[in-house]
Amino acid sequence: MTEPTPVRQTKPRTAPPRQVRPRTEGWEQQKDESGRPLLQFASPKRGKPPVHLADLTPEQRVDTVKELGMPGFRAAQLEKHYFTHFTSDPDQMTDLPASSREELVGGMLPTLLTEVRRLETDRGDTIKFLWKLHDGALVESVLMRYPGRITLCVSSQAGCGMNCPFCATGQAGLTRNMSAAEIIEQIIRANRLIADGGLGDPRRVGHEGERVTNIVFMGMGEPLANYARVMQAVRVMTDKKHGIGMSARGITVSTVGLVPAINKLAAEEIPVTFALSLHAPDDELRDELIPVNSRWKVDEALDAARGYFEKTGRRVSIEYALIKDMNDHPWRADLLADKLNARGRGWVHVNPIPLNPTPGSVWTSSDVPVQNEFVRRLNAAGIPTTLRDTRGKEIDGACGQLVATEDDQHAAEDIPVG
């Protein structure tokens, strides 16, 4: 009798997880002369925007008013008109002498933003503004009404020098840094619109007292590459006596990981919410996805983020755009959880956000079950994780999508500045 030939059990083959990369569709990292990824930290020299009250300290405002030949207390009156009543219109400033109103307003509240275009969702509770600056540069902001809060996503630079391959703004390069007042003016204009009942259902009553409650620096630009002006803007936002008087906690400053600037921010003692746009937990992929990773690696950026928590006691947010087959693998969720847990518990929150889909491209959002699994793994590892709303994507207003189109450029050319 012969032994029956054993049936060979072949292990079912599982295909290795698909890994797409930025270069899959031919994207080439631009390099500088030394062969490192091209990054623009310095703003190209362009004509500076006119100096505005919001660029100055309260003392400087008084001095400037005096230089215009008027008593110093006029500065406080202008502050009230601008920061509380959201107006730069001399006709509405009836407490100022009619003879000097125009001069005072011209010297202290010059026009900084000219509206080029406004896009609204059907219900009108998300609005994207396209603004033209004094030199013709274009920037955008997005206003969003949520239950119990109103968030404005502001731009801090015209363009961006960080060159992230998935980001339309980054591909266009850096035009220039925005001034503190150009950043603030985005909020004042939004507050004006809200006070006029322009956000959401116009029949809604009781909007008079409403205003922007939350700011996210997630429009155009890398905020920490424009550090001094962004910090001046944050001071104006939070100043209760001489500024807008917002809560610092409602202000989120984000970065792709400029480590020295994160350390500086931690030392400021302004308890803003800090967000690190990580997008990959491994240097191999992050080097390609976030070119600034060539200067400061994942671990250095996470150490700085942890340092921010230690200094301020404020829980840090990790932003993670989920990109199909690029960075959404289960092992990356596990690696991210390990790296965060290695730095302690209770200091961080992860916000995955599905990338705005570009159908047929490598830059598309993860499938829903993959998104859910990514979130589940992080939560299971003890990292609080919430999938973020992609509000604004229907009008191309979500983060990483803020770039003026050719159409916008044409529309802007027809609009005189001021």
Active site residues: 140, 399
Stretch that binds ligand SF4, among 162-170, 240-248, 263-271, 409-417 (CB under 6 A): 162-170
Q: Cα–Cα distance between 340 and 349 in angstroms, integer? A: 9
CB of 191 to ligand SF4, least distance (A): 24
How many residues bind ligand SF4 (CB under 6 A)? The answer is 12
The residue (of 160 and 304) whose beta carbon lies closer to ligand SF4 is 160
Q: Please indicate if the annotation marks 167 as binding a ligand.
A: yes
* Radius of gyration, CA atoms only, the chain: 24
Q: Please indicate if the annotation marks 379 as binding a ligand.
A: no
Distance of CA 275 to the CA centre of its chain: 10
Out of 22, 90, 250, 400, the only residue in the binding site for ligand SF4 (CB under 6 A) is 400
The residue (of 109 and 355) whose beta carbon lies closer to ligand SF4 is 355
CB of 320 to ligand SF4, least distance (A): 12
The residue (of 107 and 165) whose beta carbon lies closer to ligand SF4 is 165
CB of 240 to ligand SF4, least distance (A): 31
Stretch that binds ligand SF4, among 37-45, 159-167, 181-189, 380-388 (CB under 6 A): 159-167
Alpha-carbon separation of residue 216 from 253, 355, 375 (angstroms): 6, 18, 23
From the number of C-beta atoms within 10 Å of its C-beta (0-12, 13-18, 19+), residue 120 rates as middle
CB of 169 to ligand SF4, least distance (A): 4
Phi, psi of 87 (to 5 degrees): -130, 145
Alpha-carbon separation of residue 38 from 201, 296, 300, 394 (angstroms): 45, 14, 20, 31
Q: Tell me: does residue 167 bind ligand SF4 (CB under 6 A).
A: yes
Q: Tell me: does residue 353 bind ligand SF4 (CB under 6 A).
A: no
DSSP 1: -
Measured at the CA of 307, the angle between CA 301 and CA 312, to 5 degrees, comes to 130
Alpha-carbon separation of residue 202 from 84, 152, 187, 340, 390 (angstroms): 22, 19, 20, 45, 24
The residue (of 194 and 285) whose beta carbon lies closer to ligand SF4 is 285
Q: Cα–Cα distance between 322 and 332 in angstroms, integer? A: 11
Q: Cα–Cα distance between 200 and 196 in angstroms, integer? A: 11
Nearest to 165 by CA among 301, 32, 276, 326: 326
Q: Tell me: does residue 258 bind ligand SF4 (CB under 6 A).
A: no
CB of 357 to ligand SF4, least distance (A): 17
CB of 289 to ligand SF4, least distance (A): 9
CB of 181 to ligand SF4, least distance (A): 21
Out of 170, 257, 307, 354, the only residue in the binding site for ligand SF4 (CB under 6 A) is 170
Q: Please indicate if the annotation marks 153 as binding a ligand.
A: no
C-beta separation of 193 from 127 below 8 A: yes
Tally DSSP H helices, then E strands, for the chain. 12, 11
CB of 249 to ligand SF4, least distance (A): 23
Residue 126 half-sphere exposure toward CB, CA atoms < 13 A: 15
Out of 53, 75, 160, 215, the only residue in the binding site for ligand SF4 (CB under 6 A) is 160
Alpha-carbon separation of residue 58 from 69, 89, 168 (angstroms): 17, 21, 38
The residue (of 116 and 290) whose beta carbon lies closer to ligand SF4 is 290
Q: Please indicate if the annotation marks 313 as binding a ligand.
A: no
SS3 215: strand
User: Checking phi first, is residue 39 left (phi over 0); if not, alpha (psi -120 to 50) or beta?
Assistant: beta
Q: Tell me: does residue 266 bind ligand SF4 (CB under 6 A).
A: no
Q: Tell me: does residue 162 bind ligand SF4 (CB under 6 A).
A: yes
Alpha-carbon separation of residue 193 from 130, 198, 199, 236 (angstroms): 14, 5, 7, 20
Q: Please indicate if the annotation marks 160 as binding a ligand.
A: yes
Beta-bridge partner residues of 353: 321
Stretch that binds ligand SF4, among 165-173, 234-242, 263-271, 370-378 (CB under 6 A): 165-173
SS3 397: coil
Out of 39, 164, 265, 355, the only residue in the binding site for ligand SF4 (CB under 6 A) is 164
C-beta separation of 211 from 186 below 8 A: no
Q: Which of residues 175-234 bind ligand SF4 (CB under 6 A)?
A: 220-222
Binding interface with ligand SF4 (CB under 6 A): 160, 162-164, 167, 169-170, 220-222, 256, 400
| Binding site per annotation, positions | 160, 164, 167, 221-222, 254, 277-279, 356
| Binding site per annotation, positions for S-adenosyl-L-methionine | 221-222, 254, 277-279, 356
| Binding site per annotation, positions for [4Fe-4S] cluster | 160, 164, 167
